[in-house]
């Protein structure tokens, strides 16, 4: 038995499928479950929706011939080391490969936890200089890995370098830390962000299940919001975790209750070792439709897919607009099955 398996089995008695994973764990994404996140898991429930996100099973060994390790082709869109420029106004910077929690649905497995560490001074300078030279970029995503695994000092230096080139640059902090290790969100961190407030920060969280919205997590996110930082949530649709209308509706309502706007609900990317967690598209569309019937506009996220071969991120929804049925007459089918027409302004 590997020491990784032993350590895990001490916290969570493993099922046969989970044990079988460790027969071939070498070179795969290691197991990492921080104290707080682990405390939300019921160790006696083998189908706990949080357990499914962090404890691997033998299903990860399954080869998916259509999947890859870089389906978004981020390598191809890299313009400097670790800076991905795929969309005109937004760039993504891989601040570090480290994460506080190793999600089994991780779509950046080619990079996550590969012992590369935080971006170097040179990598940061090169990325900031690229953004300085490309004024069409108005936002940068600080992602990884997880940006909040950086020390306050390292993060401060990174922010200062980017903002010295572009004081107006909107910075999105993309992180699972408030969910998984909320104690990391300290007054000192918030005070540091405040010192660099020449442009907005946005907090991009990833809550996938209502149980993750713990009092500690809400407190952590609340610290950002109290400072005027907008919090947006990106969930991943995961089989056996949140693939029920009831769960998703509950999640979105709780988030709105705590000032967090559900932003995206992602269909799983075509990443190797994650097939067992992906939800078929027809089912995803049905879930989206079911959510739309019960949620307010504010509570409703956009279902989105990131197409393989670097096709990009697109919204997915049921086809409500049927087409132009006469000159300037547009027919819609509503989700209860009835039809309504919308008319263009009359031509003179």
Ligand X SMILES: *Cc1c(COP(=O)(O)O)cnc(C)c1O
Residue among 41, 54, 55, 92 that touches ligand X (CB under 6 A): 92
Binding of ligand X by 110 (CB under 6 A)? no
Binding segment for ligand X (CB under 6 A), chosen from 17-25, 85-93, 145-153, 245-253, is 85-93
Contact 151, 158 (CB under 8 A): no
Distance CA 79, CA 136 (A): 15
Question: Is residue 335 a contact residue for ligand X (CB under 6 A)?
Answer: no
Out of 51, 52, 82, 86, the residue judged to bind ligand X by CB under 6 A: 86
Minimum separation from the CB atom of position 89 to ligand X (A): 8
CA dist 314 → 238, 266, 267, 338 (Å): 18, 10, 10, 27
Reduced to 3 states, what is the DSSP secondary structure of residue 204? strand
- Give dist(CA 18, CA 281) in Å, integer: 27
Q: Does 87 bind ligand X (CB under 6 A)?
A: yes
By CB under 6 A, residue 236 contacts ligand X = no
**Separation of CA 185 from chain center:** 18
What's the order of all strands across the beta sheet hosting 321-326? Answer: 321-326, 329-333, 339-343
Q: Segment near ligand X (CB under 6 A), from 16-24, 83-91, 175-183, 326-334?
A: 83-91
Least Å from the CB of residue 178 to ligand X = 18
Tell me the C-alpha distance between 3 and 26, whole Å.
12
Q: How far is the CB of 192 from ligand X (least distance, A)?
A: 24
Q: Cis omega (within 30 of 0) on the bond before 215?
A: no
Residue 84 near ligand X by CB under 6 A: yes
Binding flags for ligand X, 305-334, as an x/- string (CB under 6 A):
--------x---------------------
Site for ligand X in 43-82 (CB under 6 A): 72
3-class secondary structure, 56: coil
For ligand X, which is the closer residue by CB, 84 or 159?
Answer: 84
Number of residues in contact with ligand X under rule CB under 6 A = 8
90 near ligand X, judged by CB under 6 A: yes
> Strands 260-266 and 230-236, how do they pair?
parallel
The residues binding ligand X (CB under 6 A) are 72, 84, 86-87, 90, 92, 141, 313
């Amino acid at each position: 038995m590997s020491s990784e398996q032993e350590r895990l089995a001490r916290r969570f008695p493993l099922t046969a499928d989970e044990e079988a994973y460790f027969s071939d764990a070498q070179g795969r994404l290691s197991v990492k479950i921080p104290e707080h996140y682990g405390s939300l898991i019921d160790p006696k429930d083998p189908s706990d929706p949080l357990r499914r996100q962090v404890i691997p099973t033998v299903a990860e060994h399954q080869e998916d011939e259509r999947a890859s390790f870089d389906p978004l082709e981020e390598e191809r869109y890299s313009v400097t080391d670790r800076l991905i420029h795929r969309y005109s106004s937004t760039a993504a910077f891989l601040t570090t490969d480290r994460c506080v929690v190793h999600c089994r649905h991780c779509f950046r497995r080619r990079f996550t936890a590969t012992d590369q560490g935080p971006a170097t001074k040179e990598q940061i300078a090169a990325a900031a200089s690229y953004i300085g030279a490309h004024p069409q970029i108005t936002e940068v995503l600080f992602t990884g890995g997880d940006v909040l695994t950086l020390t306050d000092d390292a993060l401060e230096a990174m922010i200062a370098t980017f903002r010295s080139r572009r004081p107006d640059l909107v910075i999105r902090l993309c992180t699972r830390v408030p969910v998984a290790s909320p104690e990391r969100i300290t007054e000192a961190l918030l005070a540091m962000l405040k010192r660099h407030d020449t442009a907005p920060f946005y907090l991009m969280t990833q809550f996938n299940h209502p149980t993750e919205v713990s009092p500690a997590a809400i407190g952590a996110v609340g610290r950002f919001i109290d400072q005027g930082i907008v919090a947006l949530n990106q969930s991943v649709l995961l089989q056996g975790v949140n693939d029920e209308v009831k769960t998703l509706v509950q999640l979105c309502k709780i988030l709105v209750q705590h000032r967090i706007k559900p932003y995206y609900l992602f269909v799983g990317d075509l990443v190797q070792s994650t097939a067992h967690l992906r939800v078929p598209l027809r089912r995803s569309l049905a879930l989206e439709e079911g959510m739309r019937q019960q949620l307010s506009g504010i509570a409703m996220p956009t279902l989105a897919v990131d197409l393989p071969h670097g096709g990009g991120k697109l919204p997915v929804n049921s086809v409500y607009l049927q087409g132009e049925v006469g000159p300037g007459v547009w027919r819609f089918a509503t989700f209860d099955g009835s039809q309504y027409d919308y008319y263009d302004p009359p031509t003179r």
